Amino acid sequence: AQSVAQPEDQVNVAEGNPLTVKCTYSVSGNPYLFWYVQYPNRGLQFLLKYITGDNLVKGSYGFEAEFNKSQTSFHLKKPSALVSDSALYFCAVRDLDNAGNMLTFGGGTRLMVKP
C-alpha cells in the first residue's frame, strides 16, 4: 500500500523569505510524485510532478521540489514567498507499478505567508 505523510499541519513564513513544505512517501515500486495547491472553495491546482530524471523539478508560480530517493522525500520549496501563496498544499504519490491514475494524498499543509 502507498502512503504520504506531510508532517506539518501549518507552515508560517514571512513574505520574501524562502519556504519549504515537507512530504515523505512510501510505495512498493517506483513513485510518481505530485504537488497540488487548493485555494478556499476551489478544486486542486497542479503545481509540479516528478516522474524520472533530474531530482530538482520546477513547476508553476516559482515553486520547485526536490526528489530524494534515499530519504523517500519530495519537499516543496520556493525561494521567496508571496502573501498570495497562502493556501493548502497537498503532496500525492502514484505507484508506477500500478495501472491507473489513482493518487494517494497526504493530509495537507496550510501555508500562511505574512506580510
Partner 1 sequence: KAGVTQTPRYLIKTRGQQVTLSCSPISGHRSVSWYQQTPGQGLQFLFEYFSETQRNKGNFPGRFSGRQFSNSRSEMNVSTLELGDSALYLCASSLELAGGHEQYFGPGTRLTVT
> For binding to partner 1 (CB under 8 A), which residues are involved?
32, 34, 36, 41-46, 49, 51-52, 90, 99-108
Could you tell me how far CA 24 lies from the centroid of its own chain?
A: 9
Please, what is the minimum distance in Å from the beta carbon of residue 98 to partner 1?
A: 8
Please, what is the minimum distance in Å from the beta carbon of residue 107 to partner 1?
A: 5
Name the one residue in this structure whose C-alpha cell is 506539518.
Answer: 8
Which residue's CB is nearer to partner 1, number 48 or number 81?
A: 48
The beta strands (E) that lie in the chain are given as 3-5, 10-14, 19-21, 24-26, 31-38, 44-50, 56-58, 64-68, 73-78, 87-95, 104-105, 109-114
Which residue's CB is nearer to partner 1, number 8 or number 15?
A: 8
Which residue's CB is nearer to partner 1, number 43 or number 115?
A: 43
Which residue's CB is nearer to partner 1, number 44 or number 82?
A: 44
Residues in a beta bridge with 36:
46, 90
Please, what is the minimum distance in Å from the beta carbon of residue 34 to partner 1?
A: 6
**Largest Cα span, the chain:** 44
Please, what is the minimum distance in Å from the beta carbon of residue 17 to partner 1?
A: 28
